Amino acid sequence: MTRIPVAVLGATGAVGQKCIALLAGHPWFEVAQVVASAERIGLRYGETVRWRETTPLPADVASLTLSAAEPQPGIRIAISALDASVARDVEPLFAAAGVIVVSNASAYRMADDVPLVIPEVNASHLRMVQRQRATRGWTGAIVANPNCSTAAFITAVAPLHREFGIRRAVVATLQAASGAGYPGVPSLDLVDNVIPHIGGEEEKITAECRKLLGDIDDDEASAANIDVSPMVHRVPVLDGHLVSASLEFEREVTPAGATHVLQSFRAEDRVAHLPSSPERVIEVDSREDRPQPRLDRDRGRGMTVTVGRIRPCPVFHLRLVALGHNLVRGAAGAAIQNAELVTAVKL
């Protein structure tokens, strides 16, 4: 069986490298084009990348030549790991040329006609692409995945929202260094230290939560009426964003009831069968000190979100802790899973 050629945009950065690592041996896709910043055009990927994944750089990707930011013939899908500032210009070029861009960048996440998708949560939002194409005249499309901490949080609580209706949430994130890319956070800032600030992150989380949990009606999505107050922190962890949440619900809920809902949750079939979908999208761990980033981030090859410490809350109804791998469930894996979804539904 022939694999579908895909382009990776921003291929030399931390998320781009993770994309290439995850796509090694992918059953559907094959990396056929790699795009990086202008000064690298013409270099071979293997020569110019400072490869930092612990799995070996695949030889077929190492030998690819970095190209300019325009789709090569035959490319129908591009996975974008670009910085937002670059994505703003480059992604529309690809979309206009007929390429479906599954993007990890924030540039178009909140655009009215761009679906922001976690397949297990709101695959139906893909319908927004019809309006996007109509409005923008594209034959391709842009489909976005959320910010890395939003991804862990919403994947974990979406089933609770379905069942009990989340009204308000105060959320503390403890985010890994890899979320800032490479070189990212200086070690002088993270040895024996935490930083209670990540630029723009709190606003993104608040906004993306409302969009992800919103309804879709006739190709138009409406924001969910949920207030999320994030308090973000960078911590000395390599990978894995931990989210502690205090949740207020519309309907009555107990820790046991919430646990049951999360343990019973299964993705709809068309999503569950995607190659990147983990066997269990949510695992509830009842040990009192779990989840922990180092021990739990790699569950389901990084695509499973682990939830623990489901307990009553003196202020709202429930407290819980969720953990997701920020570079997989929160970035590269999310974009690839979206690429699989748009392929499966023949978008």
Residues in touch with its own copies (CB under 8 A) = 14, 52, 54, 168-170, 172, 174, 177-178, 182-197, 199, 206, 227-229, 231, 233, 235-238, 242, 244-246, 288-296, 298, 308-309, 313-316, 319, 321
Can you say whether residue 187 is alpha, beta or left, with left for phi > 0 and alpha for psi between -120 and 50 degrees?
alpha
Comparison of 2 and 54: residue with beta carbon closer to its own copies: 54
- Known active-site residue 19: no
Sign for the pseudo-dihedral over CA of 76, 78, 84, 90: negative
Q: Shortest Cβ distance from residue 52 to its own copies (Å)?
A: 7
Q: Could you write out the DSSP letters of every residue in 148-185?
A: HHHHHHHHHHHHHHHHH-EEEEEEEEEE-GGGG-SS-S
Reduced to 3 states, what is the DSSP secondary structure of residue 69? coil
CA distances from 174 to 6, 150, 178, 243, 313 (A): 33, 12, 12, 6, 20
The residue annotated as part of the active site, out of 161, 241, 317, 325, is 241
Q: Please, what's the b/e burial string for 38-57 (b: 16 or more CB within 10 A of its CB; e: otherwise)?
A: eebeeeebeebbebeeeeeb
Distance (Å, whole) CA 128 – CA 216:
8
313 near 253, Cβ under 8 Å?
Answer: no
Comparison of 87 and 245: residue with beta carbon closer to its own copies: 245
Q: Shortest Cβ distance from residue 296 to its own copies (Å)?
A: 8
Reduced to 3 states, what is the DSSP secondary structure of residue 206? helix
Two tokens, residue 40: 């690298």
Two tokens, residue 213: 């949990």
Distance (Å, whole) CA 16 – CA 327:
10
Distance (Å, whole) CA 282 – CA 227:
23
Q: Shortest Cβ distance from residue 5 to its own copies (Å)?
A: 30
Comparison of 5 and 181: residue with beta carbon closer to its own copies: 181
Comparison of 78 and 160: residue with beta carbon closer to its own copies: 160
- Known active-site residue 148: yes
Q: Shortest Cβ distance from residue 342 to its own copies (Å)?
A: 31
Q: Shortest Cβ distance from residue 230 to its own copies (Å)?
A: 8
Comparison of 70 and 227: residue with beta carbon closer to its own copies: 227
CB-based burial of residue 305 (10 Å sphere; 0-12 exposed, 13-18 middle, 19+ buried)? buried
The residue annotated as part of the active site, out of 148, 161, 317, 325, is 148
Q: Please, what's the b/e burial string for 163-192 (b: 16 or more CB within 10 A of its CB; e: otherwise)?
A: bbbbbebbbbbbbbbbbbbeeebeeeebee
Comparison of 309 and 329: residue with beta carbon closer to its own copies: 309
Comparison of 134 and 238: residue with beta carbon closer to its own copies: 238
Q: Shortest Cβ distance from residue 316 to its own copies (Å)?
A: 7
Q: Shortest Cβ distance from residue 262 to its own copies (Å)?
A: 16
Closest CA to 271 of 178, 179, 200, 337: 337
Supply the residues annotated as catalytic.
148, 241
